[in-house]
Amino acid sequence: MDKWTQTAWLIPLFPLTAFLILTALGRSYRRAGVIIGSLGSLGAFAYSLFILVDRLANSPLDYNKSFEWLAIGSYSLRIGFEITNLTSLMLSVVAFISFLVQLYSAGYMKNDERITVFYGYVSLFTFSMLGLVLSDNLLSLYIFWELVGVCSFLLIGFWFTLPKARAAAKKAFIVTRIGDVGLLLAILLLFWYMPEHALDFTTIQSVFDGQSGAITNGITTLIALLIFVGAIGKSGQFPLHVWLPDAMEGPTPISALIHAATMVAAGVFLIARTFDIFQDSAAAMETIAYVGGFTAIFAATVALAQNDLKRILAYSTVSQLGYMMMALGLGSLTGGIFHLITHAFFKALLFLGAGSVIHAVHTQNINEMGGLSSKMRVTTWTFAIGALALSGIPPFSGFWSKDVILAVAWDTNPLLFVIGLATAFITALYMSRLFILVFRGRPSAASAGANESPAVMTLPLIVLAVFAAASGFIETPWNGWFGKWLTDGPEEVHASGVAIVGSVAVGLLGLYIGWLVYGKKRLSLAARQEKKPWFVNMLERGWYIDELYIALFVKPLKLLSSMLLAFDTHVVGGVVRFAGAAVSTAGRTAARLQNGQAQTYGLAAIIGFVIIVVAIVGRRFLP
């Protein structure tokens, strides 16, 4: 237990300080803003790296420190932080990705007027996520959870002059809010049913792990499902995935941050953190597995038909998060977190690479790109590594993490194994399509003048490419070291020939078919664009989920609200207006008495006097 671990609460303070300084400085300090923001993340990363190294080397016990925050009667609410293997790993990854994104943004956002504000938001975002990871109880986790939501709202709507960005920010906020309600209800239920109303993870673990029977099975399932609803919202799972593709309206570095390190990781992390609750409820686990599996294949099919570079990656994120959920639902915490880590690296890489491309060609439509490989060598190579990792081609990281999940699925649930394989195939297909359309072929008009991005942008790409290529080796089918370290359980060796062969085969097959279709032009470009079968349209629109929601929820809600508005303006407002009009009419009438003429005043005085006298005298006639 070294001093780094004991002072881990300092980690989120680095970006928070950066945020406060940036807010205080204002917009004029552009260069200082970049440096301060990046230093905040770098400091947090260095600090969490020390902790991670310590835990890797010594594997000490979990460290928990808290202080009493509120005392209500006999109940005391404690707040604090906890360092486990999982949190130390998450801290490092979050701070690392955040630092790279900020480094990259120095180039990408160079000409933006509000770059200092941007760095402030990113720092706040990083702070919230680090705080969320460090939280030792559900309540403080929820606070940071909401902060993450606010920051994503701010950053997605960063270019708030664009109506689409505004709409996307609102959508992200509202849709994730639905999930947040679930999480809040889960916390309330836990508070109600837990012994001594404890909300910290250690107690939750001991209560649910020990099969103590303190909480009945039905309630456990309910709590687990409600937590999962929260995770659905944050991690963009079906049916609350709709905000994630729209969130592409934000700056591209933010997409990388949201998709790799902060926002969507929060949902998976939440489930991993409360995994003991889920393990108590088979029904909840099954739900998670199937929702995850469905989301994986559903989003992959949608990604296949998108033409917007960033939207393809967004749907790919939804799909990969489905993978993680599926792994968690199948009981493999290792698989879920492992894929979360590798995905963080290669998806951040892909988004930053996409940002580099967009920076160069000023369009997001992949049909207008092409032939960039000769002009942007670093971007091309690093993007290729990311794409191969995402497609699950060995020896890149995505292969190993996918393999863990597929191996677990092969052991427990063949149906989900098939779904996983299909998803892997489609993933490979759309990535090859994306890569070929963007980087291969003849240069298009838009890509003619494209140049390689500056070093401050390519450096993060190279670093991330190294990690995307190599980070998979911490857990291989023959070496279960990572899972043992993470879960503190027995070393699982899950060498499953079927899984390995299957995933490699579908990955290569996907790439090959993609190359056939898009690379060798077996299907001419003209034919692709003119003939759009109905299902392509359907996929392009994302299975019409948005339209369905609009018809199912938005329209009726708007109708209801317009009815309520009418009620408010005409009935409630009418009463209010009547009251106001009555008073002002009375006032006007009374004001006419004040006509400045002494005789009127005298008359009023006399009438008042007579009334008073009559009232006093008249009392004697009353019984």
| Part in contact with other proteins (CB under 8 A); list of ranges 23-31, 253-261, 281-289, 607-615 | 607-615
Nearer to other proteins, 566 or 605 (CB): 605
CB of 587 to other proteins, least distance (A): 15
| Part in contact with other proteins (CB under 8 A); list of ranges 373-381, 480-488, 511-519, 613-621 | 613-621
Q: Give the three-state DSSP class for 488.
A: coil
Nearer to other proteins, 576 or 612 (CB): 612
Residue 584 contacts other proteins per CB under 8 A: no
Classify residue 512 by burial, with Cβ atoms within 10 Å: 0-12, 13-18, 19+: middle
Cβ-contact 284, 221 below 8 angstroms:
yes
Nearer to other proteins, 3 or 588 (CB): 588
Residue 598 contacts other proteins per CB under 8 A: yes
Residue 594 contacts other proteins per CB under 8 A: yes
Helices 333-361 & 455-470 angle (0-180, nearest 10): 150
Residue 613 contacts other proteins per CB under 8 A: yes
Of residues 218, 449, 489, 602, which one binds other proteins by CB under 8 A? 602
Alpha-carbon distance 573 to 550, whole Å? 30
Bridge partner list, 70: 77
CB of 618 to other proteins, least distance (A): 10
- CB count, 10 Å around CB of 242? 19
Residue 607 contacts other proteins per CB under 8 A: yes
Nearer to other proteins, 495 or 614 (CB): 614
Residue 593 contacts other proteins per CB under 8 A: no
Of residues 162, 495, 536, 610, which one binds other proteins by CB under 8 A? 610
Q: Which three-class secondary structure string do you get for 188-250?
A: HHHHHHCHHHCCEHHHHHHHHHCCCCCCCHHHHHHHHHHHHHHHHHHHCCCCCCCHHHHHHHC
Nearer to other proteins, 578 or 609 (CB): 609
CB of 611 to other proteins, least distance (A): 9
Amino acid (one-letter) located at 342: T
| Part in contact with other proteins (CB under 8 A); list of ranges 84-92, 499-507, 529-537, 596-604 | 596-604
| Part in contact with other proteins (CB under 8 A); list of ranges 139-147, 315-323, 411-419, 594-602 | 594-602
Nearer to other proteins, 211 or 599 (CB): 599
| Part in contact with other proteins (CB under 8 A); list of ranges 197-205, 275-283, 532-540, 605-613 | 605-613
CB of 617 to other proteins, least distance (A): 7
Amino acid (one-letter) located at 250: G
| Part in contact with other proteins (CB under 8 A); list of ranges 178-186, 207-215, 263-271, 590-598 | 590-598
With residue 67 as reference, give the H or E element that holds it: strand 63-72
What number of residues does the chain have? 623
Residue 603 contacts other proteins per CB under 8 A: yes
Q: Which three-class secondary structure string do you get for 406-431?
A: HHHHHHHCHHHHHHHHHHHHHHHHHH
Nearer to other proteins, 586 or 607 (CB): 607
Of residues 599, 621, 622, 623, which one binds other proteins by CB under 8 A? 599
Kindly give the pairing relationship between strand 63-72 and strand 75-83: antiparallel
Residue 614 contacts other proteins per CB under 8 A: yes
Residue 573 contacts other proteins per CB under 8 A: no
CB of 594 to other proteins, least distance (A): 6
Q: Which of 50, 56, 39, 59 is nearest to 4 (CA)?
A: 50
For the chain, give percent helix, strand, coil, nearest 5.
75, 5, 20
Cβ-contact 293, 235 below 8 angstroms:
no
Residue 596 contacts other proteins per CB under 8 A: yes
Alpha-carbon distance 357 to 421, whole Å? 30
How many Cα neighbours within 13 Å face the side chain of 413?
A: 20
Alpha helices in 59-137, H assignment, sequence order: 85-108, 115-134
CB of 600 to other proteins, least distance (A): 7
Residue 609 contacts other proteins per CB under 8 A: yes
Question: Dihedral of the CA atoms 504, 505, 508, 514 (nearest 10)?
Answer: -130
- CB count, 10 Å around CB of 537? 11
Here the tokens at position 184 are 């809040």
Residue 572 contacts other proteins per CB under 8 A: no
Of residues 73, 588, 595, 622, which one binds other proteins by CB under 8 A? 595
| Part in contact with other proteins (CB under 8 A); list of ranges 251-259, 543-551, 552-560, 597-605 | 597-605
| Part in contact with other proteins (CB under 8 A); list of ranges 30-38, 269-277, 278-286, 588-596 | 588-596
Q: List contacts with other proteins (CB under 8 A).
A: 594-603, 606-607, 609-610, 613-614, 617
